[in-house]
């Protein structure tokens, strides 16, 4: 027998309708609540009569206040609840809360045994794919780098069978920018650090125009054991387009020869760097997909690996629950500083965090950003937060990191790539074909209705958790094993099978000129 409505914490006064077709007026949920109107799947039903001004509680937290009397059994949505103020940052004191120390020997043994086959790099990082990246210093070259990408794929990749793909990293930055503005550091270090993503094996090839403000040398990595080459299209040795093409193809071959020698070797879970992200969330995301991903995140961290969670506007309203999880006072302060920076960034644009929720989120039952954030942070699991990585920076510590990014799927994915992720887990309730060509993206659906409809786009269905058919723990382990298989290259994700890839989007808080 399926649950018809789900309560997320004992003192909640609303529950989520779980039945895929929604529930008709007169249906009885959780024993005593009789629906006074029809309520769609994912939406909230009042479990008691709420007077105007009463707290509406989900996840044991206040997600809003009733703006009029809401009868028991009524539909609770953005039309009858108000948006509370976000937690005041200065008022949050650092009082550490730690998960219990792990003493399960069987679990420890199981995690020690777990491994995957990855590409070990000279700097110690590990790739899950073997890709030739073409980094660019300015948008002016994009037409040519796209042309080159196709030509390499057709003519050179068949000669280097061990290389999975070639990717031109085109972006809108490089010229017409205020390069000395404080915000410019974000896109510059993002481009630089993406070129050093573990999946590119330390081979960095930069194509510049020649007159741009962003000098290719500024985004080149420090000289290491990998290869670095820089080519300017304005170089006077090139007479016309086809000579440029020949010049780039020649450089590409030198990098492909080295990439082709990469071999997968056995790596431990400690070598995983998994970026967690949500997109197109619904009310189930916080019940199924995010807690299941959070459970897998905890397993990876317990095994010594690295996990990122991000999306500032989706953690802002849950920050009071995250600060106690910071490793120390410095990390707690950095968390609050990133929130304050983003509050100000939004304020400058005459917006606030309430601009985050989409019509799709609301259609899926999420009334406001508070409810969305409380569900969103579940994907971080329960581990202590060891460090906070600012937008575009590279990760410094293993363990659970907060990587500060916008919630926009493409901006977040781009910044997580820069931070060094080698695997991406993306949780969706409404559905999105989101994919990246630089790292595998495992798409997790929060409800089986979506997984059934999008059977060839979703990689993992966390829906069975909603109906009690499987536990969060069972599904968390399944996702953990899937991550290892995908990281090993033995299982392909849907977007890699179909070749569906989004553009990367640079986060540029600085002005253009």
Residues of this chain that interact with Ca ion (CB under 5 A) are 279, 407, 409
Closest distance to Ca ion from the beta carbon of 289 (Å): 13
Query: CA torsion angle for 103, 126, 215, 255 (degrees, to 10)?
Result: 180
Question: How many whole angstroms separate alpha carbon 399 and alpha carbon 381?
Answer: 12
Closest distance to Ca ion from the beta carbon of 353 (Å): 14
Nearer to Ca ion, 279 or 429 (CB): 279
Nearer to Ca ion, 317 or 409 (CB): 409
Question: How many whole angstroms separate alpha carbon 503 and alpha carbon 173?
Answer: 14
Nearer to Ca ion, 314 or 459 (CB): 314
Nearer to Ca ion, 62 or 505 (CB): 505
- Residue 86 is given by DSSP the state P
Nearer to Ca ion, 280 or 476 (CB): 280
Closest distance to Ca ion from the beta carbon of 238 (Å): 41
| SS3 assignment, position 217 | helix
| SS3 assignment, position 260 | coil
Nearest to 314 by CA among 350, 286, 333: 286
Closest distance to Ca ion from the beta carbon of 359 (Å): 15
Closest distance to Ca ion from the beta carbon of 409 (Å): 4
Nearer to Ca ion, 282 or 409 (CB): 409
Nearer to Ca ion, 275 or 440 (CB): 275
In residues, how long is the chain? 513
End-to-end Cα distance, the chain? 62
Closest distance to Ca ion from the beta carbon of 277 (Å): 5
464 phi and psi angles, rounded to 5 deg? -55, -20
Burial of 491 (0-12, 13-18, 19+ CB in 10 A): middle
Closest distance to Ca ion from the beta carbon of 384 (Å): 24
Closest distance to Ca ion from the beta carbon of 48 (Å): 34
Nearest to 131 by CA among 168, 101, 171, 100: 168
Nearer to Ca ion, 381 or 413 (CB): 413
Contact between 456 and 443 (Cβ < 8 Å):
no
Question: How many whole angstroms separate alpha carbon 173 and alpha carbon 187?
Answer: 8
Max Cα-Cα span within the chain: 81
Closest distance to Ca ion from the beta carbon of 385 (Å): 19
The residue to which tokens 């953690």 are assigned: 315
Tokens (6 digits) for 136:
């660019």
Nearer to Ca ion, 197 or 405 (CB): 405
Return the CA Rg of the chain: 24
Question: How many whole angstroms separate alpha carbon 371 and alpha carbon 365?
Answer: 9
The 10 Å Cβ neighbour count of residue 411 is 20
């Amino acid at each position: 027998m399926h649950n018809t409505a789900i309560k997320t914490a004992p003192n909640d006064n609303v529950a989520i309708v779980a039945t895929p077709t929604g529930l008709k007026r007169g249906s009885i949920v959780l024993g005593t609540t009789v629906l006074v109107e029809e309520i769609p799947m994912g939406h909230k039903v009042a479990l008691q009569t709420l007077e105007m001004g009463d707290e509406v509680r989900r996840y044991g937290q206040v997600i809003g206040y009733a703006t009029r009397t809401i009868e028991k059994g009524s539909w609770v949505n953005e039309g009858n609840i108000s948006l509370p103020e976000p937690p005041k940052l200065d008022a949050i004191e650092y009082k550490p809360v730690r998960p219990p120390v792990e003493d399960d020997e069987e679990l420890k043994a199981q995690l020690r045994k777990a491994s995957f086959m990855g590409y070990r790099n000279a700097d110690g990082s590990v790739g899950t794919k073997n890709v030739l990246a073409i980094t660019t210093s300015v948008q002016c070259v994009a037409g040519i780098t796209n042309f080159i990408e196709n030509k390499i794929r057709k003519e050179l990749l068949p000669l280097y069978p061990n290389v999975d793909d070639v990717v031109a990293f085109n972006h809108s930055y490089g010229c017409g920018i205020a390069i000395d503005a404080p915000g410019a550091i974000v896109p510059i270090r993002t481009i630089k650090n993406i070129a050093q993503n573990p999946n590119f094996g330390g081979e960095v090839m930069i194509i510049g125009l020649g007159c741009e403000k962003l000098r290719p040398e500024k985004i080149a990595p420090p000289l290491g054991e990998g290869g670095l080459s820089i080519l300017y299209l304005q170089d006077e040795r090139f007479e016309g387009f086809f000579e440029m093409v020949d010049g780039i193809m020649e450089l590409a071959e030198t990098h492909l020869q080295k990439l082709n020698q990469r071999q997968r070797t056995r790596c431990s879970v400690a070598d995983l760097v998994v970026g967690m992200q949500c997109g197109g969330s619904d009310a189930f995301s916080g019940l199924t997909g995010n807690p299941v991903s959070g459970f897998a995140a905890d397993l990876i961290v317990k095994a010594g690996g690295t996990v990122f969670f991000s999306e500032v506007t989706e953690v802002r309203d849950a920050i009071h629950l995250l600060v106690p999880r910071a490793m120390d006072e410095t990390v707690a302060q950095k968390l609050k500083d990133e929130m304050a920076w983003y509050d100000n960034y939004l304020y400058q644009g005459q917006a606030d965090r309430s601009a985050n929720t989409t019509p799709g989120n609301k259609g899926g039952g999420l009334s406001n950003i508070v409810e969305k954030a409380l569900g969103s942070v579940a994907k971080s699991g329960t581990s202590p937060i060891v460090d906070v990585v600012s937008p575009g920076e590279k990760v410094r510590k293993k363990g659970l990191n907060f990587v500060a990014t916008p919630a926009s799927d493409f901006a977040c994915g781009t910044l997580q790539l820069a931070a060094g992720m080698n695997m991406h887990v993306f949780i969706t309730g409404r559905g999105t074909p989101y994919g990246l060509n630089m790292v595998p993206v495992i798409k997790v659906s929060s409800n089986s209705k979506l997984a059934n409809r999008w059977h060839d786009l979703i990689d993992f269905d966390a829906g069975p958790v909603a109906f009690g058919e499987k536990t969060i723990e069972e599904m968390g382990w399944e996702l953990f094993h899937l991550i290892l298989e995908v990281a090993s290259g033995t299982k392909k994700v849907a977007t890699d099978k179909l070749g569906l890839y989004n553009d990367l989007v640079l986060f540029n808080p600085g002005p253009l000129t």
